């Protein structure tokens, strides 16, 4: 029988490991430097939806298998043969998956362990926080293939680093070092490659201990608010502030401060 795999089919090209509220999702196609083909994108879509619905998962980490690459882009074997209509559908499908990453409602940390090129850089940009190994290389090299970014890179890159820098990166197609990415604000932090996962896990554990509803509302206020006129975004923020004031976690957080103890948040 053919057709889409059922939601319960385990992914072939992703490794998903969960421990203490942190899910680590590893793109696992090291022979092609973890390039994203249609199957992998679909597996990512199903995995992200499953993690969204799992209340025990507080933080997600995205990384690539092996030491060389985070994700070296969309799979060029597929790009080389697609028709215009299939190309458009492919771009829309990928944009949808990356929107799901951005709008997961939980922090997603990109652990950039090597090449983050094209669709790989776009995937990292859909994440909440980007931590790069000092050996990582980032860029939007689509121009060198006669293409343009198609997973919302034209939009996210310009919003993250500013229009002028984004245009330079997309028009030259140059790979930049992790240090240069840090200087541009494209990554939040650069760490020695050997320490990457330990640093990412430390940050993930710290975020997993925060109040989940407040986390979700901060993400929503920023992600949705940036798409609105400022006055509307401020009202939206005030409404979310009002809502979060009704949570058990707000009562726990303020009580713990006044009682000089650590809060224990429950996500209620």
CB nearer ligand CO8, residue 68 or residue 165: 68
Exposure pattern of 126-161 as b/e (b: 16+ CB <10 Å)? bbbbbbbbebbbbbbbbbeeebebbbbbbebbbebb
**Nearest residue to 21 (alpha-carbon basis) of 48, 52, 57, 53:** 57
CB-CB neighbours of 13 under 10 Å? 19
* C-beta of 115 vs 265, nearer to ligand CO8: 115
| Integer angstrom CA distances of residue 139 from 101, 127, 147, 193, 234 | 20, 16, 14, 18, 34
Identify which of residues 30 and 267 has a Cβ nearer to ligand CO8 in the complex.
30
Strands 137-139 and 176-177, bridge-based pairing = antiparallel
Neighbouring C-alpha atoms within 13 Å toward the C-beta of 156: 25
By C-beta, is 76 or 182 nearer to ligand CO8? 76
Integer Cα distance of 264 and 196 in angstroms: 28
Largest Cα–Cα separation, the chain? 64
Give the separation between CA 126 and CA 154, rounded to whole angstroms: 12
State the nearest-atom distance from the C-beta of 165 to ligand CO8, in Å. Answer: 19
Of the pair 27, 51, the CB lying nearest ligand CO8 is at 27
DSSP 65-122: STTTEEE--B-HHHHTT--HHHHHHHHHHHHHHHHHHHTSSS-EEEEE-SEEETHHHH
- For ligand CO8, give the closer residue by CB, 89 or 248: 89
Q: How far is the CB of 143 from ligand CO8 (least distance, A)?
A: 9
Active site residues: 122, 142
- Closest CB 73 distance from ligand CO8, rounded Å: 3
**CA-to-CA separations, 195 to 123, 185, 200, in angstroms, rounded:** 22, 21, 9
The residues of the shown chain that bind ligand CO8, judged by CB under 6 A, are 32-33, 35, 72-77, 79, 87, 90-91, 94, 115, 117-119, 141-142, 145, 147, 149-151
Report in angstroms how near the CB of residue 136 gets to ligand CO8 at its nearest.
Answer: 11
């Amino acid at each position: 029988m053919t057709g889409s795999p059922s939601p319960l089919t385990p992914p072939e090209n992703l490794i998903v490991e969960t421990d203490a509220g942190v899910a680590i999702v590893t793109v696992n196609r090291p022979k092609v430097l973890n390039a994203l083909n249609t199957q992998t994108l679909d597996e990512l879509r199903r995995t992200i939806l499953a993690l969204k619905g799992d209340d025990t998962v507080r933080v997600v980490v995205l990384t690539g298998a092996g030491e060389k690459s985070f994700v070296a882009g969309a799979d060029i074997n597929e790009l080389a043969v697609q028709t215009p209509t299939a190309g458009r559908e492919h771009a829309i499908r990928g944009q949808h998956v990356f929107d799901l990453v951005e709008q997961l409602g939980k922090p997603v940390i990109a652990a950039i362990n090597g090449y983050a090129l094209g669709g790989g850089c776009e995937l990292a940009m859909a994440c909440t926080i980007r931590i790069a190994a000092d050996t990582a290389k980032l860029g939007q090299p689509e121009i060198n293939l006669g293409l343009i970014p198609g997973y919302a890179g034209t939009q996210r890159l310009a919003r993250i680093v500013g229009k002028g820098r984004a245009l330079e990166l997309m028009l030259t197609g140059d790979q930049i070092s992790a240090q240069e990415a840090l200087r541009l604000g494209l990554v939040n932090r650069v760490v020695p490659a050997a320490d990457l996962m330990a640093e990412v896990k430390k940050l993930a554990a710290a975020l997993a201990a925060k109040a989940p509803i407040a986390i979700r509302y901060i993400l929503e206020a920023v992600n949705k608010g940036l798409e609105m006129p400022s006055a509307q975004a401020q009202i939206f923020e005030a409404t979310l502030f009002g809502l979060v004031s009704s949570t058990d976690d707000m009562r726990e957080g303020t009580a713990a401060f006044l009682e000089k103890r650590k809060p224990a948040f429950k996500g209620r």
